[in-house]
């Protein structure tokens, strides 16, 4: 059984978006990061946690600890939809392979088209193939 797809179905069924799912085999820890347009509350995390606990019991998912939380202000961008949703926001991204001896870039996300992420930086607009991006996160504004 694919635990990730099970978690995704449960989270979506409750009206939330599954941002990320992590497992730690040795510690037998399951981490679930959820989001919703209005923002995630503690009660939301408790609701998702309770529902997942029930589903895991029925589906006989073996684990020691379950953590459910929001992705935070520096939310990671994981899916194509994330790059579309957060267009116009400042992001930080890290490339898998350096470009001109640089792997880390910060700028305003201009969008994603045909598998290429465009980023407006102080040095002008840059474009990176999505598959070359190791990780990307929103830059929190306070």
Please provide the DSSP assignment of 83-101 as one string: HHHTTTSEEEEEEEEEETT
- 133-138/102-113 β-pairing: unpaired
Spell out the CATH class of 3-69.
Answer: alpha beta
pTM over 0.85: no
Beta-carbon contacts of 21 under 8 Å, excluding residues fewer than 6 positions away, are 3, 4, 7, 8, 30, 31, 32, 33
pLDDT per residue rounded down to tens, the chain (142 residues): 689 999 999 999 999 999 999 998 776 899 999 999 899 999 999 999 999 999 999 999 889 999 999 999 999 999 999 999 999 999 999 999 998 899 999 999 999 999 999 999 998 999 999 999 999 999 998 8
Q: Does 3-69 match 80-138 in CATH topology?
A: no
Please state the CATH superfamily assignment of the domain spanning residues 80-138 in this structure: Ribosome maturation factor RimP, C-terminal domain (2.30.30.180)
Query: Any idea where the domains of the chain sit in the sequence?
Result: 3-69, 80-138
């Amino acid at each position: 059984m694919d635990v990730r797809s099970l978690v995704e179905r449960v989270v979506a069924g409750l009206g939330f978006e599954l941002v990320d799912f992590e497992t730690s085999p040795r510690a037998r820890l399951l981490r679930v990061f959820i989001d919703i347009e209005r923002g995630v509350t503690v009660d939301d995390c408790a609701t998702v946690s309770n529902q997942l606990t029930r589903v895991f019991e029925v589906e006989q998912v073996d684990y020691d600890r379950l953590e459910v939380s929001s992705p935070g202000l520096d939310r990671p961008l994981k899916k194509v939809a994330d790059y579309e949703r957060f267009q116009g926001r400042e992001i930080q991204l890290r490339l898998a392979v350096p470009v001109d001896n640089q792997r880390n870039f910060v700028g305003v996300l201009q969008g994603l088209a045909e598998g290429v992420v465009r980023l407006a930086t102080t040095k002008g607009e840059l474009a990176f193939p999505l598959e070359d991006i190791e990780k990307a996160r929103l830059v929190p504004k306070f």
